[in-house]
Structure 1
């Protein structure tokens, strides 16, 4: 496989475009792939990639990047309604769907049997009545990895998590760490990718911190992270998929700046001007620290409702700062400099503007008029 070097310049930002340097490319297992067309949506790279978790947050952007240049993309799915929007990511016949069952080995094998690249983006940070975090992050990971090995797939890429550590106090971080060990035991030259907390329109970071009251949390929202834009991570994964020199390596894809949850909430509230109020407690750029055992007990009680709410393991993760493996590769090793990475303040407005207070445009009017408008807003049918 040849490393791609073609780029397109849009404004002042350089974006990686996976157009192979040669029309004829040979994979590690000897398969010859022929590129057809000048590049772009109606072309074909000759490669077939399977993306597990394609309908998830990161997976949908990765699928779009692969399919837009004619890479035949296999999308395993469970829920028909959650995968339909991926069909338009590529030209006719490029995006193909295969129904799977997480415990059906044959369905997993069918997804990888003709692939040149398998990318596992599946992960779970909460338990359900059918699957625990261990079932997904360890059990399903093992089945996918073994299926890829049995099918002699040339490249296997496993998306793990920041802070992945088998000895972590968090179940999620621990199962992700064990999952990495399982992948390495089965396919030693697999590529491990650990992205930082990712943000974007459908994320679990801004949507968790921003639009709901999060005043009463462990550690008073002092958790430190290096948030990274999901499109930057998708671009890096696209690069890794077509670069054989990345096999057997571990990548930590971290954002360009360190922020705390509290600082992110400050930025969001500065845009939305929705300052939480719960009885006598108000959020005016301040958070209230709750002892971890109490927070976990409340989160456990919240699991009895039928919709998804923060769980006790999420409370544990609130108290664990992000750490970076100094031996891991970074964006820089993929030819993506820090200047090319998106910074959260640059794009924050577009993701949180829909949460702005409805009366924010009336700031210039008198206090009495604002009060009248609030009454109209809340009580007019």
Structure 2
């Protein structure tokens, strides 16, 4: 005779009996089958394990939060102890597993992913340093992670590149991203390569940088065309790969609209209740000279390659959002959320204000 379910079991919503559908198997030979249980959400255990390299970055923190909320156990490799502290509370007890990691240490890389079903490579550098240049991060580092993932029997490998990655680009950043895609594909033939456009969000280097340093976004007379995409949309797309089948292809994730730097500067001025910047347009030669001279300063400044990127329009390729099951959002509805902090106390409670009209760009 079966005893009545206890109050704890009823509250937890856990089934009293297990079925074959509760068993989660993995193609990874180093991982034993797991049993998923618990109600959908943060307190669930899906039986899946994911490793997110680059988890302490802008996109990484949102991806970790979405994975953990779905019940996925997340391994978070880190270099700095302070940079991973905020990730610990994103999942239930034992679901966030921090591990010290160095990109050049293959043994540590193998240890971080040997139990994982899905591996994400979000590692990247927006500017070069004396320890890590573009090639060592985007090419050599990406190839090393992909090769170790292949050797460890990982079933899904998702590599994040950039929408403008091209071997013919005038930007070394974009060239290294394109070369990294080639190396990853050779090391892990079934890898999925994601190419997001420039992302906006709370800690972005787009809207926040424009609000603080509008002069450096007036290069090219502020006519550079970009396709900004919400970081939450990209994170959701990456999170969906846990349930999607293996996709050995390259997917482009641009924003739904194409705008110019000039329009974004006007949008920021309207949202922050500030007059538009009257800063002059700096010629490219002078901007390159100033950026090279500033490289001797110890804190990050505008690098010469970033100056070059301010003159490159975003690729006008077709988006692949239908494949990942996400509908991207425009920047306008979320701009006030990320830009209200730049308002004065007098204007802080006012409703958002939008520019008169968005220019039509083909």
After TM superposition, the score normalised by the length of structure 1 is 0.82
Q: Does 1:353 align with 2:340?
A: yes
Flag structure 2 segments of 5+ consecutive residues without an equivalent: 1-20, 351-362
Q: Does 1:342 align with 2:343?
A: no
Matches within 5 A, 1:18-167: 22-28=21-27, 32-167=33-168
State the distance in 2 between where 1:104 and 1:65 align: 28
State the distance in 2 between where 1:306 and 1:275 align: 32
Counterpart of 1:261 in structure 2 is 261
Counterpart of 2:4 in structure 1 is none
The 8 Å contact of residues 274 and 357 in structure 1, kept in 2 or not, is answered as: no
State the distance in 2 between where 1:291 and 1:106 align: 47
State the distance in 2 between where 1:69 and 1:361 align: 35
State the distance in 1 between where 2:275 and 2:130 align: 35
State the distance in 2 between where 1:362 and 1:180 align: 46
After TM superposition, the score normalised by the length of structure 2 is 0.86
3-state SS in 2 of match to 1:128 = coil
Residue 105 of structure 1, CA deviation: 1.1
Equivalent pairs counted in the alignment come to 329
Matches within 5 A, 1:232-251: 232-245=233-246, 247-251=247-251
The 8 Å contact of residues 157 and 241 in structure 1, kept in 2 or not, is answered as: no
Counterpart of 1:290 in structure 2 is 282
The 8 Å contact of residues 66 and 235 in structure 2, kept in 1 or not, is answered as: yes
3-state SS in 2 of match to 1:156 = strand
Match of 1:307 among 274, 292, 299: 299
Of 210-219 and 228-237, more deviation after overlay is shown by 210-219
Q: 1:307 to 1:39 in 2, by over 3 A?
A: same
The 8 Å contact of residues 27 and 117 in structure 2, kept in 1 or not, is answered as: no
The 8 Å contact of residues 145 and 187 in structure 1, kept in 2 or not, is answered as: yes
Counterpart of 1:214 in structure 2 is 215
Residue 207 of structure 1, CA deviation: 1.4
Task: Tell me the C-alpha RMSD between the 2 structures.
Answer: 2.1
**More strand per residue:** 1
Q: 1:57 to 1:361 in 2, by over 3 A?
A: closer
State the distance in 1 between where 2:57 and 2:216 align: 28
The 8 Å contact of residues 54 and 75 in structure 1, kept in 2 or not, is answered as: yes
C-alpha offsets along residues 347-376 of structure 1, whole Å, 9 cap, x if unaligned? 10110111113454799xxxxxxxxxxxxx
Flag structure 1 segments of 5+ consecutive residues without an equivalent: 1-21, 364-381
The 8 Å contact of residues 220 and 289 in structure 1, kept in 2 or not, is answered as: yes
